[in-house]
Amino acid sequence: MSKPQVKPRSILLSKRANVFYLEHVRVMQKDERVVYLTETGEAIERFFNIPERNTAFLLLGKGTSITDAAARRLADANVLVGFCGSGGSPLFSVADAVFLAPQSEYRPTEYMQAWVKAWFDENTRVEMGRRLLRQRMAWTLEAWSDNAELLKRKVAIPDALLKRFENDIVAADSSQRLLLAEAQWAKALYAKLAEASKVNEFKREEGKGASETTADRINGFLDHGNYIAYGYAATVLNGLGISFSLPLLHGKTRRGALVFDIADLVKDAFVMPAAFLAGAEKSSQRDFRNSLIETCQQEEILDRLFTFVAKLS
């Protein structure tokens, strides 16, 4: 009598090490594994393994496809999948606004129930927004203060900016005013990094897709890095069972707006400085991506996001 097949145990989402961005490949299941096959047109194509039970999310770029068997196995391992353009942006899959979330009725309910209870009370929702922005400020200050490349360039967040942001957070009595305070904070960070990178009058231009100037390269890296940040945020919300549709700051008409809120914790602290440094050094998209993912892994971003979001409501 044959023994029942035992599935290997998945690593906790908060501890997963791998994030993949793939181009010109076919993702499939082979010999009880998820693999991708290169589609380069060469005489011999190669298979590479995707350790799905230690993977947080998967970005599929230009010229990619995935079989139903691979999609089923990735969903079973609770891996999010997103289709995107070349270089990681823009993101095309909108089955659940930002990522294709694994279909499973086995989700924790306590976090969603607590979030909904808090979200429908405006005062509580604004207070949650304040806590989100304070955490964003704290993580950014910590990350920038520990960034050797920024320290080498004498880039630091001025005390006056920190104090102004804190005062704006305290004074805000609505999500709209919190969003305004957040915009002014981000603008000041952009200006600080642009000055250090010798980019005059930097302007954030999402999805421009150009690479002629340093500013163009930086914008491209920001686009790419932001979608990695969205992946981390979506992984956390999906794992906790909290709907993407219950934002604290971003527009209530955007179905995935909570993903953008949570991703901002990563964007200011890690994506933004990495994008400016990579743009100034004319790094490749691959080098930028690998460096950012490695930094996020070293900083245990998933674990920190899970801990913060679980306690936020």
Q: Which residues are annotated as a binding site?
A: 182, 250, 264
Place of tokens 């990178």: 197
Helix (H, G, I), strand (E, B) or coil at 38: strand
- Collapsing DSSP states into helix, strand and coil, what is residue 23? coil
Instruction: For residues 155 and 12, give the distance between their C-alpha atoms in angstroms, rounded to a whole number.
Output: 36
Instruction: Calculate the CA 187 to chain-centre distance.
Output: 20
Contact yes or no for 115/313 (Cβ under 8 A): yes
Long-range contacts of 102-110 (CB under 8 A, 24+ apart): 102/74, 102/75, 102/76, 102/78, 102/238, 103/75, 104/75, 104/78, 107/241, 108/240, 108/241, 109/241
d(CA 54, CA 10): 7
Q: Are 27 and 63 in contact (CB under 8 A)?
A: no
Beta bridge partners of 25: 38
Query: What b-and-e string marks burial along 252-271, b requiring 16 or more CB atoms within 10 Å of the CB?
Result: eeebbbbbbbbbbbbbbbbb
Binding site, annotated residues for Mn(2+):
182, 250, 264
Residue 43 and residue 176: Cα distance in Å, rounded? 57
Strand partners for 145 = none
* Distance (Å) of CA 48 to CA 37, 91, 258: 7, 24, 34
Does residue 206 contact residue 223 with C-beta atoms inside 8 Å? Answer: yes
